[in-house]
Amino acid sequence: MRYKERYLVLADGSVYRGYAFGADSETVGEVVFTTANVGYPESLTDPSYKGQILVFTSPLIGNYGVSKEQWESDSIQVNGVVIFDLTKPSHYTSIMSLDEWLRNQDVPGIFRVDTRALTIRLREQGVIMGAIVDDPGRGMSMINEAPSYDSINFVKLVSPQSPITYGGEDPCIGIIDCGVKLGIVRELVSRGVEVIRYPCLMWRRALDECDGVLISNGPGNPMLLTELTSLVDDVVKDRKPTLGICLGHQVVALGMGARLFKMRYGHRAINKPVLDLVRNRVYVTTHNHGYAVDPSTLSGTGLKVWAIQPDDGTVEGLYHEKLPILTTQFHPEARPGPVDTRWIFDKFISVVKGESGWM
Ligand SMILES: NC(=O)CC[C@H](N)C(=O)O
């Protein structure tokens, strides 16, 4: 089979040549990379990647195909996919190839890109807008016409329209769903509790109806979510046990008065060490974020750092001195990734039941 040529054009004018796979369409998005060497179905369906073109640094992607249990939402969420080598799948659970899946879901991919050169570019100069196109001449005008990634409220696009209930026993956990990964829902459901996902602007109902709330992960620039600061005010007022994951961690920090910043190229990986400063332990964790909390702005917020990323010192976890609030910048549900931090869900439920405190 002959593949047609396709191009990844970056906003700085650089052009990477490759071949087309997936949908026969073109796209624009923020170009980011993940170093995860497995878990491509989970990453591609993670709503936190909405609006981004995802580059896999691992050279072989697609070798075990796609199966439904791996999906973190009901569709592919990335705008486009960049890989080095595309292979035919071989796995007993696979129902289709990566190529077919992207085609079915109208998501374009490009393979045989020099992903090492591209990743060095993104690491050194930072993430950047880009386009996957068949005609490289069109790339720059598409990028110029598209709104920049940082200016779009993607949470609105991935938050559910109405509550979704999963059966279970007391206590009830309300997920304030800014684009929750199904892995987080599964972690809670598997512990036998009642779980309700609420549209993220319906937090008042979540706080009224549930015993504890989880503010979920989600896509885009958290600094645009100013309406969610009222959610944090209500969490403070109600004193309900709260867990914030990734975007949820950023929303809590923002609502408490801390500031956030955009990282040069973020953390997207399944093997990032996180140092637990309270327990003096290191966990290997899953990450997908491009923004982080500025630790110099935490004084006076009541928030304290309990975990950091030892390579660059980024804040990885916060807790409140007086209120039952804990947050993680990393993903305790993993999906994909190691399960070192699943205990956070056990702890959350015991805090909600009043059996222990967070720390
Ligand atoms: N996984 C997430 O929740 C990502 C949060 C936010 N969109 C960021 O990139 O930092």
Minimum CA distance residue for ligand 1 atom 5: 247
Positions of the chain with pLDDT lower than 50, given as ranges:
none
Neighbours of 246 (CB within 10 A): 29
Which domains are seen in the chain, by residue range? Answer: 5-151 (3.50.30.20), 155-352 (3.40.50.880)
Query: Is 321 a catalytic site residue?
Result: no
Q: What is the pLDDT of residue 167?
A: 85
CA 132 to ligand 1 center in whole angstroms = 23
Minimum CA distance residue for ligand 1 atom 8: 289
Q: Which is the catalytic residue, given 246, 287, 289, 316? A: 246
The three-state secondary structure class of 158 is helix
State the amino acid at position 277 in one-letter form: L
Q: Is 98 in the pocket of ligand 1 (CB under 6 A)?
A: no
Q: Is 290 in the pocket of ligand 1 (CB under 6 A)?
A: yes
- CB of 302 within 8 A of CB of 323? yes
Whole-angstrom distance, CA of residue 294 vs CA of residue 274: 17
Q: What is the pLDDT of residue 184?
A: 98
Q: Is 219 in the pocket of ligand 1 (CB under 6 A)?
A: yes
Q: What is the pLDDT of residue 2?
A: 77
Among the atoms of ligand 1, which is closest to the Cα of residue 46? 1
Helix spans in 61-201 (H):
98-104, 115-125, 136-145, 155-158, 182-189
Cβ neighbours for 280, distance < 8 A, ≥ 6 positions apart: none
Which residues define the annotated binding site? 48, 218, 220, 247, 250, 288, 290-291
Which residues define the annotated binding site for L-glutamine? 48, 218, 220, 247, 250, 288, 290-291
Q: Is 247 in the pocket of ligand 1 (CB under 6 A)?
A: yes
pLDDT tens by residue, 251-310: 999 999 999 999 999 999 999 999 999 999 999 999 999 999 999 999 999 999 999 999
Whole-angstrom distance, CA of residue 58 vs CA of residue 42: 15
Among the atoms of ligand 1, which is closest to the Cα of residue 331? 1
Q: Is 218 in the pocket of ligand 1 (CB under 6 A)?
A: yes
Q: What is the pLDDT of residue 1?
A: 66
Minimum CA distance residue for ligand 1 atom 3: 217
Whole-angstrom distance, CA of residue 351 vs CA of residue 355: 6
Q: Is 220 in the pocket of ligand 1 (CB under 6 A)?
A: yes
Whole-angstrom distance, CA of residue 128 vs CA of residue 30: 6
Helix (H) or strand (E) holding 245: strand 242-245
pLDDT tens by residue, 44-79: 999 999 999 999 999 999 999 999 999 999 999 999
State the amino acid at position 261 in one-letter form: F
Helix (H) or strand (E) holding 346: helix 343-352
CA 242 to ligand 1 center in whole angstroms = 18
State the amino acid at position 85 in one-letter form: D
Q: What is the ipTM of this complex?
A: 0.98
